[in-house]
């Protein structure tokens, strides 16, 4: 019985030091958010300008080799056409997500660097030289 007391006392001290003290230090500084994530951001002219820029969709101009015309479409629609053209829909969901991320990274990098040998106004072509792209009508016919 005499040895049990020091072990119990050490256990209580350990509990107090490891769990209770950090909790007591953090609790006064937490806010109740009702489970919602929010940020306190001051509205400045710079943040308003940033919100306007990020709210607008990025357009991709694709040179269609069959029609020899440039087709302009939102980035998200372009990515759907690229992933659907390059991978079967029966692939695992995580593989499709990875392909979408790779395609997005590639197109943004390509658009940032630019390319002089493309037809006027085009960012990429719909061939394997860049990324294979099929529009909605072409995907439906498949």
| Those residues with Cβ within 8 angstroms of residue 77's Cβ, 6 or more apart along the chain or in another chain | 136
For residue 138, the model assigns a pLDDT of 85
Q: 72 to each of 6, 43, 59, 60, 103, how far by Cα in Å?
A: 76, 33, 6, 6, 17
List residues bridging with 70 in a β-sheet. 63
List residues bridging with 16 in a β-sheet. none
Q: What is the DSSP letter of 83?
A: H
* pLDDT tens digit sequence for 74-96: 989 999 999 999 998 888 999 99
pTM of whole model > 0.85? no
* pLDDT tens digit sequence for 12-63: 888 878 887 888 887 777 766 555 545 555 666 665 655 554 444 788 899 9
For residue 101, the model assigns a pLDDT of 92
Q: 2 to each of 6, 13, 27, 120, how far by Cα in Å?
A: 8, 18, 37, 89
């Amino acid at each position: 019985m005499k040895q049990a007391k020091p072990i119990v006392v050490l256990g209580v001290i350990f509990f107090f030091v490891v769990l209770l003290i950090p909790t007591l230090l953090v609790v006064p500084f937490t806010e109740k958010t009702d489970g919602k994530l929010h940020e306190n951001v001051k509205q400045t002219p710079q943040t308003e300008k940033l919100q306007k820029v990020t709210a607008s969709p990025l357009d991709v101009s694709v040179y269609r080799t069959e029609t020899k015309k440039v087709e302009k479409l939102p980035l998200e629609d372009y990515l759907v056409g690229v992933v659907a053209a390059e991978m079967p829909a029966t692939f695992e969901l995580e593989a499709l997500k990875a392909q979408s991320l790779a395609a997005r990274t590639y197109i943004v990098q390509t658009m940032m660097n630019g390319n002089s040998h493309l037809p006027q106004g085009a960012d990429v072509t719909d061939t394997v030289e860049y990324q294979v792209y099929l529009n909605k009508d072409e995907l439906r016919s498949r």
